[in-house]
Chains A and B, each alone.
Chain A
Amino acid sequence: MREVAVLGVAMNRFGVSQKTNLEMFTEVGLEAIERSGLEPKDIQALFLGCCLGAFEEGQAHIAPFAHSELGLPTGSPAVLMECACATATVSIRNAALLVAGGVYDFVLAGGTERATLMGTPLATRTFAMASHSYYESTVGITFPGVFALAAHMYAAKYGIGLPELKRHMAEVAVKNHKHALLNPKAHFQKEIDVETVLNSMMVADPLQLYDCCPFSDGAAAVVLARADRAKEFVKKPIYIIGMGQAACGALSLQRDLTVVKARVEAARQAYSQAGIGPEDLDVVELHDCFTIAEILAIEALGLYEFGKGYEAATKGETALGGKVPVNPSGGLKAKGHPIGATGAAQVVEIVEQLREEAGERQIPGAKIGLVDTLGGDFGTVCNIILRR
């Protein structure tokens, strides 16, 4: 297998967009190609993520339209990928595998999503399509509901009083909002405190509004290339040194919702390929769609033992300047979560950190970073480890 490098990356400001999914992706795609020192004619394949385009804009089969907007050659295939919230990470992993395998030398991968167009009731319904349609969506489970089930199970399993756990969960939101203040691309740029979270409306007990990421619009794109040619095009290529992806079925098969089995396996694959462990990470962008989700993730990624991660944000260990900064971008929680684009935006953040181009939120000397994206009700997890 050949080594794979990231050349140019780009994302737009997440939030509420007047631009269409195609327009957003065209902008970031062209920026990423330009920053790679390439022309659209050099891109040999497009892997595009967009989860709910059919419901947002009545648009299916969006990839060939993005392909022509970008001016890619007719001979370069365009594929739409969908793994719920892990969509863009999975697009990037599959693109990277084809570069590693020698099929392509230069590919474009990423995603675009316009979730705010749907409004909360329809967005809540369409997000729930990523649960088992016949056996679980029919009982009315929602995405906050899935993580709410996990939060209550976490409190019971480890014998932590719910009010105590909720304060620690709120600290995750406070931290990620604070990080987002330093990120001009973030959906929210608003400092909050624990009381903001605990006084917000209840969405799915015990998760309140500020425990939840927003519905966002946004797009992000990355160009991947064979590593041996990367320095011909960019000064600071970033290398993909490990990847992992795993799958699980319905919630009822997963049983212990405090341990995301797909993440344990995906992370094992990625660490093993990279030849490193969690202690080697300088920066992590992980899937904090809900505050409890960040706690579950830092544990399954091996940064904390199971049952020990819940105090991390409160102690400041996962904040910028802490032991291992988690979600310096503001995370899904505050940077925003345009589901089909999220994983690519996580890669953008890690790449900028490793290039020391992250501005005010730069982690000094960051050399190795990890991307963690979860799709659906723990059905997919995809991890990518990058190094400068």
Chain B
Amino acid sequence: MSGVIGLDQVALRAYRGMCLARAFDTKLSSLYKAGKVFGGVFLGRGHEAVAAASAAFLERGRDVYNPFIREMAGRCVWGDDALLEACRSYFGSALGCMGGKDGNVHWGQPTQGNPAPVSHLGAMLSVVAGMMLAKRLRGEAGGVGVACIGDGTTSVGATHEACNLIAVEKLPVVVVVTNNRYAYSTPNCEEFACADLTDRGKGYGMCTYSCDGTDFLQTLSTMRQAVESARNGEGAQWVVATTLRMCGHGEHDDAAYIPAELKEAYAQRDPLDVARRQLLEKGWLSEQEADEMDAVARDAVQRALAQAQREDPPAPRTVDWRATSWNPQGA
């Protein structure tokens, strides 16, 4: 796709997704602190560049996109309905794709290549594998699946099973590992003992890449290479992007366990600032256009949040409680 559409266009679309995600996170955090959200709130601060890049080279309808916890920017790149659906998910709107039956980051549109993630970390990788296998069995060529996970999720048994299987079947899947150095409160050194997370990908027999996840253009070109390789029939790809989670695990968490020096080291590397700087330097965006994009994003977030909060909640008396689509006669 990037062969047809220039990298500048892809980069602008990705940056727009990042602006939407940041504006969404900022508003959602306030709403959480005001006690307006039912459960937890999980933000993507610091992850925006990786998240946006993870979806930037995909095409809805042909490809599969499986975002992880902090991929709001990627969801916005994947589809324009993402902002409203994310708001509906948090507020449990009856009109959302989960209808209030699941919430926060656990939403998807499984018939549109976007499976609805369960909480169990690592469980979705094999689902993506199955979706790609179905395409192969049905003779639909050219599709790519992107599955996003975190550093901690590389320790989960399900992740290992799925990555091994994806490599064995040579499925066109890109596994994007965002190494934000922590899994909830647990640092990398208590999560794995290999020198580098790319070692894991090599162990599976995947083609591996690593990039600085705060460097927008570097991350974008890494993802382009990985997605193109998968699309060209080169099998499974493993991308490790390093960044820092610039917020708590959820908004209930003050992340006091992250050393101040590390937070300071990343203070100058906010992916939104880096991306803006890079786009200005390239001349792909002017200061004025960047400000406009930001303002438009904030307006869109306001509108979507207001709409989702206004929409009807699911009604216990009329909601479809059935757990199966088929039921025996008379039951």
Say if A and B assemble together: no
